[in-house]
Amino acid sequence: MDLQGLTYLFVGTSFALYVGIAFLSRAGSTRDFYVASSRVHPVANGMATAADWMSAASFISMAGLIAFMGYGGSIFLMGWTGGYVILAMLLAPYLRKYGKFTVPEFIADRFYSNSARMVSVLCLIVCSITYVIGQMKGVGVAFSRFLEVEYEIGLLAGMGVVFVYAVMGGMKGITYTQIAQYCILILAYTIPAVFVSLSLTGNPIPQLGLGASMQGSDTYLLDKLDQIVRDLGFHEYTTDVRLSSLNMFAYTMSLMIGTAGLPHVIIRFFTVPKVRDARSSAGWALVFIAILYTTAPAVAGMARLNLAQTMEPAPGEHLLYEERPQWFRNWEKTGLLRFEDKNADGRIQYNADIQRNEMVKIDNDIMVLANPEIAGLPNWVIALVAAGGLAAALSTAAGLLLALAASVSHDLLKCMISPRITERQELWTSRAAMAAAISLAGYLGLDPPDFAAGTVALAFGLAASSIFPALMMGIFSKRVTQEGAVAGMIAGLSVTLLYVFQHKGIMFSASTSFLGPMPPNWFLGIEPNAFGVIGAMVNFAVAFGVSRFTPPPPDRICNLVEDIRIPVGTIERE
């Protein structure tokens, strides 16, 4: 079967599977809709969490980022996994014990304040919407690239599928479809990696292959890569620091606490039966995530090597443009790859010199998307990659949309505006909110605002500087008061937003950026995306400071904190 036919087959089958699962997991109550009635097995929940977490960015873009950043790309590898240790020990068990439905609900109750609820709902909405636009874009792009369907139609198809299983099944339907999506995406990611590793080094395990020697030679792959990349004028792959150690430190820390503070990740731990399941489930989530994340460096390094060697098969010998391979031509058509013959010699000169470099565009995403073609793999593998990329985008989108819908129907409507609505009314409101959220996400995906590219960083910055500290203080301190918490959250997010906008423009329109993206202007050389941890420190400082001057939390709140610290039951008090 030809490539397109196969792709339609794989993608269509996967979509049918998701809808089928949704039928079997219809939600019948608000408990079902918000937290799957807390009956998800920890291992299953781990797998669902892994799919929820790994978005189009993890699947498609991350390996590309690492391929061009080398060692510097470690910020993403450590930053996006280390946060799970924080979740497992510092957040998930206690929030599960608390046992309600949403993150803002905990913040509102712990800090006995509707202002706190409002601020956290606002952060949640901004975080989730910015994040979901990226996924919608990913869906549209995957359709247009692999299925040669127009971007808009692809987007609508994706939205349609999510609509069915998310509105029908809520968290229950989403959880089980995420498990199916995990299986598809992990196969789609690892199979090409295994083949490439085998062909380059003879070792089929990518994690080992990266550290092995090249097939038929004594040179280690990484040494060869380092040398090739150096010869082209780039920094050495294995030691290429991202700006500075301090910047890498801050970036990694920001990503870690940002991960732990993302609402759509946290709510995944409300679905397990017991507190101790929340702890082990985080472990399982990381196992499933790690399978992809430890394969990624191999995908990255090997793709970079393949790319460089294609352009320059032997030192000084440049590829004739006319003789470029088929995958090159295919991807040129999409605009992700562009060549300009600056010296009119008909050959491709690829190097780090901006003036002389003729490969003027090599999009990061190519590294994963074109990998199977570069490695000469059969069509069914390419079709699988398409289905896998879609699985990654849809699974994350669904999780985000649930966090959004739950917040609107539960935190805003039920808790603040109309507390007296019945269970059935709330359930239907949450379905309606879900439908509205999907439509909004689709609309924004159809016409992405200019700032779509930078916004995932914004989401992490908000989560790191506003939500994470609030949750930490809520659990580990009995002294932080409502005034302190609200002041802290606002301070943290303001500082972060200010820093990001002043360097990237208000809502990212470059003409309004005061200081411009100039590294010398950065605070201690820390780039805007890495600033979340500074915002968090500001949050903690302000919150503790203000708490000293305001009345301590009432006894029932202190009791609440003590009770969530034990996994079962309440404390016997005199």
Partner 1 sequence: MSGMTEQRARIYWRRNLALILRILAIWFVVSFGFGIVLVDVLNHVQIYGYKLGFWFAQQGSIYVFVALIFYYARRMAALDREFDVDGDEGP
Which residues sit at the interface with partner 1, rule CB under 8 A?
Answer: 66, 71, 73-74, 77-78, 81-82, 84-85, 88-90, 93, 97, 99, 207, 210-213, 220-223, 238-239, 245, 248-249, 252-253, 273-276, 279-280, 282-283, 286-287, 290, 293-294, 297, 562, 565-573
Backbone angles phi, psi at 202, to 5 degrees: 80, -5
Q: How near is the Cβ of 74 to partner 1 at its closest, in Å?
A: 4
Minimum distance, C-beta of residue 280 to partner 1, in the bound complex (Å): 4
CA dihedral 439, 442, 446, 447 (to 10 degrees): 70
What radius of gyration, in Å, describes the C-alpha atoms of the chain? Answer: 24
What's the rounded Cα separation, in Å, for the pair 277 and 202?
A: 40
100/324 with CB nearer partner 1 = 100
Structure tokens at 555: 């006894």
Q: How far is the CB of 284 from partner 1 (least distance, A)?
A: 9
Nearer CB in complex with partner 1: 78/194: 78
Dist CA 504 CA 256 (whole Å): 22
Q: How far is the C-alpha of 141 from the C-alpha of 389, rounded, in Å? A: 10
Closest CB to partner 1 among 213 and 351? 213
Between residues 199 and 494, which has the closer beta carbon with respect to partner 1?
Answer: 199
Least Å distance, CB 208 to partner 1, is: 8
Q: Report d(CA 263, CA 468) in Å as an integer.
A: 9
Q: How far is the CB of 492 from partner 1 (least distance, A)?
A: 21
d(CA 46, CA 179) in angstroms, rounded, equals 9
Q: Which residues contact 390 (CB under 8 A, 6 or more apart)?
A: 11, 14, 139, 142, 143, 158
Q: How far is the CB of 75 from partner 1 (least distance, A)?
A: 9
**Residue with Cβ nearer partner 1 (193 or 493):** 193
Q: Cα separation of 411 and 335, whole Å?
A: 44
CB of 249 to partner 1, least distance (A): 5
Nearer to partner 1, 221 or 308 (CB): 221
CA angle 229, 234, 235 (to 5 degrees): 95
Q: Which is nearer to partner 1, 294 or 334 (CB)?
A: 294
Nearest approach, Cβ of 262 to partner 1 (angstroms)? 17
CB of 149 or CB of 286, closer to partner 1: 286
Specify the DSSP element, H or E, that contains 173: helix 151-201
Query: How many CB atoms are located within 10 Å of the residue 214 CB?
Result: 16
Secondary structure string (H, E, C) spanning 236-290: CHHHCCCCCHHHHHHHHHHHHHHHHHCHHHHHHHHCCCCHHHHHHHHHHHHHHHH
Cβ nearer to partner 1, comparing 9 with 78: 78
CB of 112 to partner 1, least distance (A): 20
DSSP label of 214: P
CB contact at 8 A, 567 and 274 = yes
Please provide residue 337's backbone torsions phi and psi, each rounded to the nearest 5 degrees: -135, 130
Nearer to partner 1, 22 or 65 (CB): 65
Shortest Cβ 397–partner 1 spacing (Å) = 25
Paired strand residues for 317? 314
| Residue 359 three-state SS | strand
